[in-house]
Amino acid sequence: MILALTLLLGCQLGGEIVSQALHLPVPGPVLGMVFLAILLIARGRLSLELGQAADFLLRHLSLFFVPAAVGVISNGARIAREWWPLSVALVVSTALTITVAALVFQSVERLIARGRR
């Protein structure tokens, strides 16, 4: 477990360093994900330990969002003032985004499948 966690944190640290040094708009953990993917693909296999550590973290992914979400109390006044445009924008835009992404994915996939035949 220690090795796997070191690898995950090491990739994050590497991502953080590259992101800061090159002033990239992409944050460290996302670059870290790219680094780990490259490492795994180069190595061609995944250790049992890393698989278990990743599964553990991903199973509880939504827990890690809770502390930031509680920040809602610091923004209470503005949210109360602009609750109507905010809630309509969040719900409609999220529904629209899911719809557009899913339908575009599906139609391009079908177009390609038809081309292959």
* Residues between 16 and 55 that touch another protein (CB under 8 A): 25-30, 32-37, 40-41, 46, 50-51, 53-55
Packing angle between helix 28-43 and helix 2-21, nearest 10 degrees?
120
Select the residue interacting with another protein from 2, 48, 65, 114 (CB under 8 A): 65
Residues 69-98 close enough to bind another protein by CB under 8 A: 69-75, 78-79, 82, 84-86, 88-98
Rounded CA separation 71/29 (Å): 21
3 or 88, CB closer to another protein? 88
Using CB under 8 A, count the residues that bind another protein: 73
3-state secondary structure of 23: coil
Rounded CA separation 48/68 (Å): 31
